[in-house]
C-alpha cells in the first residue's frame, strides 16, 4: 500500500513528518505503515515527527508513536517527536504516560541537532 496519509519531506537522510490532520485510530495506524515503508524505501536514518498541530495525544496515540519508534529503531532509524504543545505534554505527564523509544525536541533545528549527534 503506497497511500500516504501525511505528506513528508526528505532532508538529507532524515524524514520530516508534519502532522496536520486529526489522528483517529485508523489514520495513526496507516501513518505507522507509511513511515516504516518510507524508512526502507527512501533509506531514512532519522524521522522527525512534528506534532505542533496535534491538540490531543491520548494513551493509544502515545502507544502507536512509541511502537513506531521502536520498529524504526530496529531498522536503524531514530525518531524525534518535535514541538509537543505544552498542554498536551502536561496532560501526558499527569496521566503518567511516557513516550518510550523517542527523542523529543522543541524545534525543528533542535530535532536535527539531536539526529546529527546520534550519527
Is the separation of the CB atoms in 64 and 34 below 8 Å? Answer: no
Nearer to another protein, 33 or 56 (CB): 56
Pick the stretch among 37-45, 52-60, 73-81, 105-113 that binds another protein (CB under 8 A). 52-60
Residue 24 in the binding site for another protein (CB under 8 A): yes
DSSP at 53: T
- 3 touches another protein (CB under 8 A): no
What cell does 39 get?
Answer: 524508512
CA distances from 45 to 16, 55, 76 (A): 11, 27, 6
Residue 94 binds another protein (CB under 8 A): yes
70 binds another protein, rule: CB under 8 A? no
Amino acid at each position: 500500500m503506497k497511500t500516504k496519509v501525511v505528506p513528508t519531506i526528505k532532508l538529507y537522510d532524515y524524514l520530516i513528518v508534519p502532522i496536520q490532520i486529526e489522528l483517529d485510530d485508523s489514520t495513526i495506524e496507516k501513518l505507522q505503515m507509511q513511515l516504516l515503508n518510507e524508512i526502507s524505501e527512501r533509506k531514512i536514518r532519522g524521522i522527525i515527527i512534528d506534532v505542533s498541530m496535534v491538540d490531543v495525544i491520548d494513551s493509544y496515540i502515545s502507544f502507536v508513536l512509541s511502537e513506531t519508534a521502536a520498529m524504526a529503531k530496529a531498522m536503524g532509524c531514530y525518531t524525534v517527536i518535535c514541538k509537543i504543545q505544552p498542554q498536551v505534554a502536561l496532560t501526558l505527564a499527569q496521566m503518567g504516560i511516557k513516550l518510550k523509544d523517542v527523542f523529543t525536541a522543541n524545534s525543528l533545528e533542535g530535532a536535527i541537532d539531536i539526529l546529527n549527534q546520534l550519527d
